[in-house]
Amino acid sequence: MDRPAGPGRLTVIVTLVLLCAIWGSTWLVIKTGLRELPPLTAAAARFTLAALVLALLAPFLHRREGGERPPPWLAIAMGTLNFAISYGAIYLAETVVPSGVASVLWAVFPLLTGAIAHRWLPGERLRPRQWAGLLLGLGGVAVLFVTDLRAIGPEALAAGALLLLSPLSAAVGQVVIKRHGTRVSATLLNRNGMLVGATVLWLAALPTESLADLSLGPAAIGSVLYLAVVGTAVTFGLYYWLLRFVSASRLSLIAYVTPAIALWLGWAVEGEPLALTTLLGTSLVLLGIAGALRR
């Protein structure tokens, strides 16, 4: 089967802008939902609903998109790495870490993606200047750990370390998908991967979190609906569709914009602190991304 024709430049730009806007808002929405829902239960509910939405839309979207059916092992890898481990860590960490800071810590995702792609994806090799960018970005993470997280307390340092597992897991998953899923239908891969991710998250949530204490108020319901439909089904469908045509490292440039949106929303809506050290750490991370991904 011939590789399908890629989208036009304008389509790529519009899609990336939409992804940045939505993903920039999800950090605050997660924080809002965690006031009433246990973290793993909230994540499991999100991916369960998103998988059901995609299951309903998959036949129509797959006919329009094309692509081969994904092998089961690829869906399992995606569901475990990109959804279950990655989002389980995010939800657990955001019970302690401010949403804006969490988004900045996660912004090392393109740095980790570039480093892993250097080894496993032909044509995405990093040069010395880009390795320097990687180290600069990690320096920004270190600034946030020794200032913002340390000021919150020891539990924030542990939560921040746990959160870094999320971009690492997602970077490994993205490179695997880019290497083996170029011809695969993004719709079917996302549907199957989300079913796997939801299953793994429920298996982790049910033995550890009490469902009897759930408080399903408007904030909890609205959070799950927004994150499942808009922040998951729509965004990941678009993201992994673009990944078929755009390099893994280039596509992760979304990380430039989403931390700025998340930091501003956290400050404007929730009154989260926005200290000079936060801005310094964020600047170092973004400068590191710029250096690491510059070709």
Q: What is the pLDDT along the chain (295 residues), one digit of tens a residue?
A: 445 566 777 888 888 889 988 999 999 999 999 988 999 999 999 999 999 998 998 888 788 778 889 999 999 999 999 999 999 999 999 999 999 999 999 988 888 888 898 887 777 777 787 788 888 888 888 899 888 899 999 999 999 999 999 999 999 999 999 888 878 988 899 899 999 999 999 999 999 998 776 777 888 899 999 999 999 888 888 887 887 777 765 676 677 788 888 988 998 888 888 888 888 888 888 888 777 655 5
Q: Beta partners for 68? A: 184
For residue 4, give the amino acid letter. Answer: P
Alpha-carbon span 228 to 249, nearest angstrom: 25
Residue 4's pLDDT is what? 55
Contact 123, 116 (CB under 8 A): no
Residue 1's pLDDT is what? 44
Residue 169's pLDDT is what? 97
Q: What angle do CA 30, 34, 38 make, to 5 degrees?
A: 125
- With both helix axes pointing from N to C terminus, report the angle between 186-205 and 235-242 in degrees, rounded to the nearest 10: 130
Of 109, 101, 186, whose CA–CA distance to 145 is shortest?
Answer: 101
Q: Which residues, including other chains, have CB under 8 Å from residue 10's CB and lie 6 or more apart?
A: none
Q: How many residues does the chain have?
A: 295
- CA-to-CA separations, 205 to 2, 84, 131, 180, 277, in angstroms, rounded: 42, 11, 38, 30, 35
CB atoms within 10 A of CB 212: 5
Contact 257, 20 (CB under 8 A): yes
Of 295, 259, 293, 14, whose CA–CA distance to 144 is shortest?
Answer: 259
Residue 293's pLDDT is what? 59
Residue 68's pLDDT is what? 87
Alpha-carbon span 172 to 180, nearest angstrom: 12
Residue 250's pLDDT is what? 65
